Amino acid sequence: MHGDQALEPLGVWLRLWGTDPYTRGYVTQWAPSDLMAVGPAHGAHEPPFYICGSDQWVAGYMEGAVRTGRGAAAEVVKHG
């Protein structure tokens, strides 16, 4: 995709999201078995409390932020 230049990078940057001062821990730090304990309630809404964000979806990332944001917005419109 990037050609032969990709074989010789000029630099590599590593960011530890959990300790980065600008992100303040980007990803939810689930401990082993936490997600299983939450089970079907993960990402669920209980009016008037709505949860959304990339960490509230199966794999995180932007797709999760969009999907859970739309879901939370739909619940707010539905329940007021």
**How far lies 35's CA from each of 1, 39, 40, 65, 69, in Å?**
36, 6, 9, 18, 20
User: What are the tens digits of pLDDT across the range 22-78?
Assistant: 766 656 666 777 767 777 776 666 777 777 877 666 666 788 788 888 988 998 898
Burial of 52 (0-12, 13-18, 19+ CB in 10 A): buried
Entry pTM:
0.47
